[in-house]
DNA sequence: GCTAACATGTAATCCGTTACATGATTAT
DNA sequence: ATAATCATGTAACGGATTACATGTTAGC
């Protein structure tokens, strides 16, 4: 529950979809756009062990013949911990420093929480972004003039990324509210 | 030169602008959009020590009265190391896993390399992105259908981010080639 | 006199990287 | 047979987080 790595949550989320082995997870991290995470055995297997020690996943040996293979599933407690992490309030700090975590939290929303929670998340995100952006724009306006071109362009890109994220959250919200009538939080 | 943290490079880049103390750096990381980096003393001071041990920066005590304050400057060797890191070829792995590093490398380009290097970097980046995106789009097309809405939206955001980066690199390139005639690599 | 800001550090701990190690099965 | 892939781990190391520790100076 407490001080977990994002990798741990990524793993826990993936295990909600279907039971998987460490090797399965490695392949996912190696071959898909989820590959922002490490596919190295030195990251995955210790992460699985930690999750198991915390009681968030349970591993089970498959096929006693030859090739041993342990597949993992989340426990009830693991599901609870994931959902708690995923649906907790979005802080200013999340927006400034952990946008990637936010996207991971959202990516699994329909599977491990609910469309209603997805809507709540998107509204929360949009609100956080609207609060954050004025100070960013202000910094840009105050400093852009005396910055060299490369620095200015990099900074503008940073601001633009947040604007894009806000636009994305609005489009996403529209898809949820149009498609389904689901409104209860 | 070898196995350095991004924080180390961020620090080294900032020290190129003017001499700064650990505390100065902390303030920058705490109060500006460079704040993706840690402003904790437990990150900054060890990073400065490592840079000093590598001979990349030199610290000097200021104002012997009361409040001690050490300001750091990059050495010739530190400047070389930074420039090498900054201008090295962009790999597929950089594009898949280290986009933030790429932006940091670019942000200091005018100050620590040259506009010509900036142009070279942007062209290299655009080429890398054009190569990378087909497989991303392909994955999206192949999987989007059977993904839940939240997952699909997150994935689309990922693809869109790369498209935005490509657009940004082209706009940035245009600003370099329009503004100055600087063409030699 | 007290608080906030200035200023620099260390220690415990955790996690990821890199490299190493081992062995089974499938395809050529 | 032998290479590739399946499959799981460990050990050394490095760097970041968190919390602690210490002392100075300026402003109210």
* Residue ranges for chain B with pLDDT beneath 70: 1-3, 64-65, 179-185
| Residue A151 · residue B108 · CB < 8 Å | yes
Would the CB atoms of A110 and B150 count as touching at under 8 Å?
yes
CA of B113 to nearest chain A CA: how many angstroms apart?
A: 11
How many whole angstroms separate alpha carbon B49 and alpha carbon B51?
A: 5
Would the CB atoms of B103 and A36 count as touching at under 8 Å?
no
The confidence score (pLDDT) of residue B2 equals 44
- How far is residue A131 from each of residues A87, A167, B87, B97, measured CA to CA in Å? 20, 14, 36, 29
| Residue B173 · residue A153 · CB < 8 Å | no
Q: Which of A69, A92, A125, A95 is nearest to B153 (CA)?
A: A125
DSSP state of A55: T
How many whole angstroms separate alpha carbon B21 and alpha carbon B48?
A: 9
**Secondary structure of chain B in HEC code, one letter for each residue:** CCCCCHHHHHHHHHHHHCCEEHHHHHHHHHHCCCCCCCCCHHHHHHHHHHHHHCCCEEEEEECCCCCCEEEEEECHHHHHHHHHHHHCCCCHHHHHHCHHHHHHHHHCHHHHCCHHHHHHHHHHHHHHHHHHHHHHHHHHHHHHHHCCHHHHHHHHHHHHHHHHHHHHHHHHHHHHHHHCCCCCC
Show which residues sit with Cβ under 7 A of nucleic chain D. A 3, 21-24, 26-27, 41-42, 45-46, 48-49, 67-71; B 3-8, 38, 40-43, 46-47, 50, 65-67
Chain A contacts in chain B segment 60-99 (CB below 8 A):
96-97
Which of the nucleotides in strand D have any atom less than 7 Å away from a protein CB atom? Answer: 6-12, 14-21, 23-25
SS3 A62: strand
Would the CB atoms of A33 and B155 count as touching at under 8 Å?
yes
* Residue A88 φ/ψ, nearest 5 degrees: -70, 160
CA of A39 to nearest chain B CA: how many angstroms apart?
A: 12
Q: Which of A131, A120, A101 is nearest to A169 (CA)?
A: A120
Rounded to the nearest integer, the mean pLDDT of chain A is 94
| Residue B79 · residue B69 · CB < 8 Å | no
Indicate whether A179 pLDDT > 80.
no
Which of A97, A168, A175 lies at the smallest CB-CB distance from B149?
A175
Per-residue confidence at A185, pLDDT binned at 50, 70, 90?
low
- CB proximity B122 to A under 8 Å: no
Would the CB atoms of B168 and A151 count as touching at under 8 Å?
no
Mutate which: A122, A154, A176, vs B, most B CBs within 10 A: A154
The distance between the two most distant Cα atoms of chain A, rounded to a whole number of Å, is 69
Hunting for tokens 């200013």 — which residue is that? A92
Per-residue confidence at A1, pLDDT binned at 50, 70, 90?
very low
* Residues of chain A with C-beta less than 8 angstroms from the C-beta of B151: 107-108, 110-111
How many whole angstroms separate alpha carbon B127 and alpha carbon B129?
A: 5
Would the CB atoms of B97 and A33 count as touching at under 8 Å?
no
Strands B69-74 and B57-62: antiparallel
Q: Is B161 exposed, middle or buried (0-12, 13-18, 19+ CB in 10 A)?
A: middle
Strand C contacts in A 26-85 (CB under 7 A): 38, 40-43, 46-47, 50, 65-67
Mutate which: B113, B150, B168, vs A, most A CBs within 10 A: B150
Which of A107, A150, A161 lies at the smallest CB-CB distance from B108?
A150
Would the CB atoms of A154 and B106 count as touching at under 8 Å?
yes
Strand C contacts in B 4-23 (CB under 7 A): 21-23
Instruction: Spell out the residues 6+ positions from residue B62 whose beta carbon is closer than 8 angstroms to its own.
Output: B21, B68, B69, B70, B71
- CB proximity B30 to A under 8 Å: no
Q: Token digits for B78?
A: 């530190």
The confidence score (pLDDT) of residue B1 equals 40
CA of A164 to nearest chain B CA: how many angstroms apart?
A: 9
pLDDT tens digits along A13-61? 999 999 999 999 999 999 999 999 999 999 999 999 999 999 999 999 9
Which of B33, B148, B158 lies at the smallest CB-CB distance from A33?
B158
| Residue A9 · residue A106 · CB < 8 Å | no
How many whole angstroms separate alpha carbon B25 and alpha carbon B19?
A: 10
Rg (CA), chain B: 20
pLDDT tens digits along A59-99? 999 876 677 899 999 999 999 999 999 999 999 999 999 99
For A59-93, letters b (16+ CB in 10 Å) and e give beeeeeeeeeebbbebbeebbebbbebbbeebeee
């Amino acid at each position: 529950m407490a001080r977990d790595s994002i990798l741990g949550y990524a793993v826990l989320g993936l295990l909600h979809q279907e039971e998987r082995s460490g090797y399965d997870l490695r392949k996912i991290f190696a071959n898909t756009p989820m590959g922002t995470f490490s596919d190295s055995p030195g990251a995955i297997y210790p992460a699985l062990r930690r999750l198991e020690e915390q009681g968030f996943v349970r591993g089970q040996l498959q096929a006693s013949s030859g090739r041993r293979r342990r597949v993992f599933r989340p426990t009830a407690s693991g599901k609870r911990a994931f959902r708690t992490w995923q649906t907790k309030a979005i802080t200013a700090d999340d927006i400034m420093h952990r946008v990637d975590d936010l996207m991971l939290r959202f990516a699994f929303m329909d599977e491990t929480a609910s469309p209603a929670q997805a809507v709540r998340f998107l509204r929360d995100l949009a609100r956080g972004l609207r609060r954050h952006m004025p100070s960013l724009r202000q910094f840009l306006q105050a400093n852009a003039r005396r910055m060299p071109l490369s620095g200015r362009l990099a900074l503008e890109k940073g601001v633009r990324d947040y604007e894009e994220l806000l636009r994305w959250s609005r489009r996403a919200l529209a898809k949820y509210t149009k498609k389904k009538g689901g409104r209860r939080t």
